[in-house]
Structure 1
Amino acid sequence: MTFDVPQSLILDTALSVAGLTDYIRLLLEQDEQLRQVWVTGEVSSANHHRSGLFFTLQDTDGTAGIKCVAWNSQVAKLAQMPIPGEQLIILGSIRVYPQRGEYQLSVWQALPAGVGLQALRYQQLKNRLLAEGLFDAQRKRSLPPHPQTIAVVTSPTAAAWGDIQKTLKQRYPGLHVLFSPATVQGDQAPESIVKAIERVERDGRAEVLILSRGGGAVEELACFNDERVVRSVANCAIPVITGIGHQRDESLVDLVADACVHTPTAAAQKVVPALSELYAEHRQRVAALHQAMLFSEETDLNQLQVLRNRLRRLRLDRQVQQETQQLAWKRQQLVQVTMGRSQQATQHLEMLRQKLASLDPKAVLQRGYAVVRQEDGAIARSAAELAVGQDLLIQLAQGEVKVKVTEVNH
């Protein structure tokens, strides 16, 4: 087919490559839908460049793909780094690259899709609770060693409840078990679990609480990563032990609980000791005590024999005899010294008695002398002190005589 069009007309209407590209750019970049668009797909390739991260997002069946770029200013803000094989939800805007005549998605944000999105939410909540200190080891309480009343929160129709009952009965017959039923799967499970825990706290009898369910898929255990359940366990007034699912990654409830194990049976085994084990431990303690007493007795006997041997070597009987002889000699010395001092004291006393007797006025009177006293009791020592007619008192060896002076001779 040929077109009979004048060449001048073609030249007047033809667009340049830049013009056509600019027209397409205006169509795409000015479209309201494309200025902020969410796109989901799988990362098929990724390449770090000095200006940013370039990658391709395609449908899982490979039928379509789109080139994407996250500039360096945005890379650090991405919630999920694009890695080949990862399912992502991309937020961005369509931009045209004129030099190559290509369009690409300029990325603002990248979020994990499907299971990845759940993992992101899990990690974000975990980081927030971790920052609050809810997982700190200092917050965790010790389980009571011999509880008499235990509360169990689980589904009444789950195998976990039967396993717990069987294990508790085998290990510790007569234990009082309080059952607080709850839904442990589905959208209603978080609220149901929280209410079940609140019932146990209001009752006030339980010393420890078991929160449990059997194994299941990740999505079936989502209620144990719910913030409401996590905070309820963290704020529970009594110690909480979790036994959720089988060998798997820990849930947030496991991290905040005072103790955690991987199965309901293991939780029941951990929360109470087995009576058979207690009896065996008791027998071991009795045997150990008996051995300790025998050892102590043997040690004491050995020590006593050592002391006896030392006594024999010391010959205390000879030392006692020597000490007795020394005491007798010292006693004799003491008696002699005491008698000598007593004799000296007696002689000195006699000398003082004789001296005192020689000075005694009464002894002078006995020899015929008399003492003349005036009326005021003063001793008359000179005739010049007396006057005629004055009364005097003469003291004799035996009695007194009152006289009157009739004459005074100087």
Structure 2
Amino acid sequence: MAEPNRILTVSRLNALLKELVEDNFVQVWVEGELSNYSTPASGHAYFSLKDASSQIRAVMFRSHLRLLPFRPEDGMSVVCSGRVSLYTQRGELQLVVESLEPRGVGSLQLAFEQLKARLAAEGLFDAGRKRPLPPFPVTIGVVTSATGAAIHDILHVLQRRAAGVRVLLRPVRVQGEGAAAEIAAAIADLNRHGGADVLIVGRGGGSLEDLWAFNEEIVARAIHASRIPVISAVGHEVDFTISDFVADLRAATPSAAAELVARSRLELEGHLDHLVLRLAAQMRGRLELLRERVAGLNRRLRSPRGEQALSRQRYEALERRMKQGMDAILLEAKREVGTLSGKLDAFSPLRTLARGYAIVEKDGRAVRDAAALSVGDRLRIRFARGEVGARVEEKG
């Protein structure tokens, strides 16, 4: 019989085994297949990691689990990193997982595919829910970085192709922790503001990690909930994000998005030019035809006074018809030109001035940024009616 001082309790034995295991398996990498995966109310994940002939129980605590960009599922082949421990209450070995990567595909790519499939099943990508862009937007809301290249590209295109269009910038961070929440909040803010006719949401190109904020579910939900049509303008032509699939329209770049909203105005101006040219051509043709008829009548005039009087009557009747026809043509032309001029007037900077805004100029150029001014600078301020001189007294 063993000596009493050599007899171990179960708890003591498990404690010794736990110490032995944890001292020798501090950091291990294990490859296997997920099985019996579950996440109870505690927020921790419990599962088995198995191969063709063996398995081991595993746990991933909530603090590490929340950092995973994808959702682990049964049957998924993974590589786990962690330490081996002994659960002393049941005397079971377990792998305490600290990081988990899918085998054969990156975790971000897997998260992208999982979210894309889930939102598609909910109908967020359906073509039937996508809205057309407004034909003549007056105010364009932009959600992007205030210092990035995207906003400069958008403003450059709009200044060149749609001068007078108002831009409402809601600056956000476009990458890094918290960026997705800022983007979603900005979309909601512009909807509450109610002043924008269309929204451009985006940034310049980058890696999958750089663009990840636009692949987050919170941004997709915000775009889907927007009452204002949304153009997603994220990255370069080869980059696609979840935002691209949810938005009403996808643009390959921020510049392309600006060209899309400015296209209607250019089409209107081109249509007006075409109408003016066509009207002028029609009037020239009609006048030439009437001149030929008058010339023919003059050639047919004869010397007898009766025929001469009859010819003169015909001439006067044709002249009246010509005048009436020209008056009718000119009246219709004035109506059409007036209608189109009214539409163009809606985009005029003068209309903006009439609503109470003013244009501040320094040395004959409009001032868009207070940073461009210095104390003592002389300014001209133009209102809807009249202008005044001013001088910068202080800067905020």
Q: Which is higher, the Rg of structure 1 or of structure 2?
A: 1
TM-score category, normalised to shorter length: 0.3 to 0.5
TM-score in terms of structure 2 length: 0.48
